[in-house]
Chain A
Amino acid sequence: MKAEDFHERRDELGGWPVNIVSYKIGDTYYCTIDNVDPGARFARAEGPTRDAAEAAALEKAGRYLQQTRRRAPA
């Protein structure tokens, strides 16, 4: 068994840069989304296709990012 169809791309979500990684192992596509800096995975999902896995992960990521508050400089 090997990871197939490995893809990685940068995008912006809710005003934040995110890194989107997806790949297939066996019959399942996995997608993880991390914040670019520091690079922590904060949403993941799986599905039968890349689009399904990415859509589910992006939906979760969007919800989590809405909770991040920006503060004005001191």
Chain B
Amino acid sequence: MASVTTALDVLVSTNWVAQHRADAGVRVVEVDVDTAAYDQGHVPGALGWNWTTDLCDTVVRDIVPKAKLEKLLGASGITPDSTIVLYGDNNNWFAAWALWQLKVYGHNDVRIMDGGRKKWLAEGRDLETTKPAVEPTTYAAKDPDLSIRAFLPEVQQALARPNVAMVDVRSPQEFTGEILAPPGLPETCQRGGHIPGAKSIPWGKACNEDGTFKSREELLALYGGQGVTPDKQVIAYCRIGERSSHTWFVLKHLLGYPNVKNYDGSWTEWGNLVGAPVER
């Protein structure tokens, strides 16, 4: 069985960040759905990464290329020994997307600030609008770890494998095909519905109202109750792979499931694929 990372290694509180944000070796980074939020005010000393430009290949549809990530981390003053603390809006949605990509490229110590931007603001903690001065580094990333990333062929093969649990983390209306995209966002697929056999467990169910993650017991009940158990290979997907990176984080790092992959092609791949089976 793969080693299990405990929640204590990957989740820190707003109090912890307030106390340790300026420690040597700690780099706090904000990653928001709303890319303008960072400029309103952010955790003092935090950098801001833009998910639409910094955390993807902007030409080919893909996650951030290795060389581009190395450049981003180097410009952020991060070394392979740094503790990266990520936080963001919307229950840390895109902070989890950044964490998953950093894990793909083998960064060891990446953590999420529990409750994210919302909790920091609601608690009335210090903010600043200036961007911190950074001493650049040269960062060498590891080769991508594809044990945590699922591509289309593996998902297609998984349809016939009973030991695979497919988790659709989109909203129930997307799962049933009633809508093709979250309300208010553009439709980006040709067909609605879900991958046959997938269980509907919306990603946000893993969080409390204040944006923090639910307890281990509650999370085990949420996923285990749908048959998503640690003895199975789990593949999580959503529309474009970001919401499912949040669920991947919960299953892999908060619950310690040994074999969890994020299918970042997700519904915008499957729902546009000619001949792909769809359930509603």
A: residues with CB less than 8 A from B are 1-4, 6, 8, 16, 21, 23, 25-26, 28, 30, 32, 34-35, 37-44, 61, 64-65, 67-71, 73-74
Contact = CB atoms under 8 A, between A and B. Distances in A.
A25 B170 contact: no
B243 A38 contact: yes
B interface secondary structure, majority: loop
Interface stretch (B77-85, B88-96, B107-115): B88-96
Given A65-B183, A69-B179, A38 B170 contact: yes
Given A61-B184, A73-B178, 18 more contacts: A1-B127, A1-B128, A2-B126, A8-B118, A23-B121, A25-B40, A26-B41, A32-B34, A34-B33, A37-B182, A38-B171, A38-B243, A42-B183, A44-B34, A65-B183, A68-B184, A71-B192, A74-B177
Nearest to B243: A38
B166 to A, nearest CB: 18
A3 B41 contact: yes
B280 interface: yes
B118 A21 contact: yes
A37 B202 contact: yes
Interface residues of B, number: 44
Contacts of B186: 67
Contacts of B183: 16, 35, 42, 65, 68
A73 B179 CA distance: 10
A69 B129 CA distance: 39
B124 interface: yes
A28, A69, A71, most chain B CB atoms within 10 A: A71
Contact of B121 (A3, A64, A69): A3
B251 interface: no
Given A38-B202, A40-B182, A65-B184, A4 B124 contact: yes
B177 A71 contact: yes
Interface in B166-180: 170-173, 176-180
A39 B121 contact: no
B185 interface: yes
Interface string B141-174: 0000000000000000000000000000011110
A42 B183 CA distance: 9
A44 B184 CA distance: 12
Nearest to A21: B118
B49 interface: no
Contacts of B11: none
B192 A40 contact: no
B228 to A, nearest CB: 18
B122 interface: yes
The 4 closest A-B pairs by CB, nearest first: A42-B184, A3-B121, A64-B184, A37-B171
Contacts of B37: 32
Given A38-B170, A39-B93, A25 B127 contact: yes
A40 B33 contact: yes
Contact of A1 (B33, B120, B129, B204): B129
Given A37-B171, A74-B177, A2 B127 contact: yes
Contact of B280 (A2, A16, A28, A74): A74
Contacts of A37: 171-173, 182, 202, 204
